[in-house]
Structure 1
């Protein structure tokens, strides 16, 4: 936590428009890096400039709303807001087509069915054969699956007040009310429990990708595996998480309005 003197210095510095502009300019490379990382998994039809503009707006909001008494580092808070703004832009454009969403759901269902039938995680080739598609097409499906990890609707959260409540809880934690904070902590615990049920290799890939922010190719070098194999492990881990989160959400009253 910042000292009182440091807090006052930050507030006095950011209060002037000239210094605010300097702070925005200093963090623009962060916007570019986040956008490039997200864009590498998106269809070529997506306009990267639009995502960059959304990220810049997220950065500006981060600087304007940053509270040094609650946050340790502006970079951490800005990363959260920038990524959220870019993902919101993607959601509004729905870059995953209906056909590709059906393929992702088919992949999840096939992997789940084969796991029960075989008593183990199915091989990539077995999933492709069961779906009646080639490995190249399955790889393309997995890349699409990485863009849309899951939707609230897939977790049983219906449109309307329930969805709004859940979305609000997933926004900036410093701006949620007590009831939304409870929901956020419950969702965080559910995800944590699900991740712990993944294999050690799957957990490692997710950690290197989402926490350490390595590319799939870089993770392949670390684990001495091909990039395509890392992509398969990544996709399988996300598929498992979608399945486990759906099961955990089923029958719970998380994100339900108290009526």
Structure 2
């Protein structure tokens, strides 16, 4: 039975067998998304837990997807699966308050330097702004890197709190404007980053490489990739904050 036939059997005839077959068909997508988020969260959660949360998102996507609309299920499911995993991680609240506060300090320092220098400033300047040695700042970046990823994910999820994929025709003009503006700002901000930060963001988000793979390409350590990523994320989050 083809994929299209499975959708018809499930949606129009409520076939449990077709639904089970669709879950099996798309479970690999859940594994890919869960694996990527597992890397982002620095192994603070179990991969199997992320996979379970993602399966919940996949089932939700299957139930709510309109197979008659002109949109790929993979696009819709990606949003639902990521959203389900991130929601569960939020509820776990496993990131210490001290880590959140440390990242907030970095973000505030970056915001102040952006007003002075745009997006082009050094680690040394951020360390000076924080009143830290370069070594202490590098350690701080390492501690805050996990929360930086979570923070950006949450900001994007909150910004797109309308159903992008299932209601393409029904999206209100103001919601469409926010979506387009957010994409434009993210794209522009990434393009304005210093070359190494831009390269890390492109390799991580567009090429979907791991820190280890990026480190090999750029010939730097994984910890350095993590630090560069954290700095770049703080700039993106500040740009998104300015939209609201």
183, 190, 202: which one aligns with 1:188: 183
Look up the match of 2:23: 24
1:216-243 superposed Cα distances (whole Å, 9 cap, x missing partner): 1111222333222222221121111122
CA distance, structure 2, for counterparts of residue 43 and residue 215 of structure 1: 11
Secondary structure of 1:46 counterpart = coil
Please state how far the C-alpha of 1:84 moved relative to its aligned partner: 1.4
Output aligned runs, 1:91-130, within 5 Å.
Answer: 91-114=90-113, 121-128=120-127, 130=130
Aligned residues: 232
Look up the match of 1:11: 7
Q: Contact 1:7–1:68 (CA<8 Å) still a contact in 2?
A: no
CA distance, structure 1, for counterparts of residue 32 and residue 144 of structure 2: 25
Superposition TM-score, scaled by structure 1 size: 0.73
CA distance, structure 1, for counterparts of residue 223 and residue 91 of structure 2: 30
CA distance, structure 2, for counterparts of residue 168 and residue 120 of structure 1: 28
CA distance, structure 2, for counterparts of residue 150 and residue 35 of structure 1: 14
Look up the match of 1:168: 161
Secondary structure of 2:27 counterpart = helix
**Greater percentage in helix:** 2
CA distance, structure 2, for counterparts of residue 173 and residue 50 of structure 1: 25
Please state how far the C-alpha of 1:126 moved relative to its aligned partner: 4.8
Considering only aligned residues, what root-mean-square deviation do their CA atoms show, in Å?
3.1
Output aligned runs, 1:50-199, within 5 Å.
Answer: 50-114=49-113, 121-128=120-127, 130-132=130-132, 133=136, 135-149=138-152, 167-169=160-162, 171-175=163-167, 177-179=171-173, 180-199=175-194
Secondary structure of 1:149 counterpart = helix
Q: Cα–Cα, structure 1 residues 7 and 137, in superposed 2: closer, same or farther, change >3 Å?
A: closer
CA distance, structure 1, for counterparts of residue 38 and residue 176 of structure 2: 30
Q: Cα–Cα, structure 1 residues 16 and 231, in superposed 2: closer, same or farther, change >3 Å?
A: same
Superposition TM-score, scaled by structure 2 size: 0.77
CA distance, structure 1, for counterparts of residue 41 and residue 153 of structure 2: 15
Q: Cα–Cα, structure 1 residues 183 and 126, in superposed 2: closer, same or farther, change >3 Å?
A: closer
1:4-34 superposed Cα distances (whole Å, 9 cap, x missing partner): xx89634324342112112212322322232
Please state how far the C-alpha of 1:36 moved relative to its aligned partner: 2.4
1:59-105 superposed Cα distances (whole Å, 9 cap, x missing partner): 11222233344355333332222111111212233333322111111
Q: Contact 1:32–1:52 (CA<8 Å) still a contact in 2?
A: yes
CA distance, structure 1, for counterparts of residue 154 and residue 71 of structure 2: 31
Q: Contact 1:103–1:141 (CA<8 Å) still a contact in 2?
A: yes
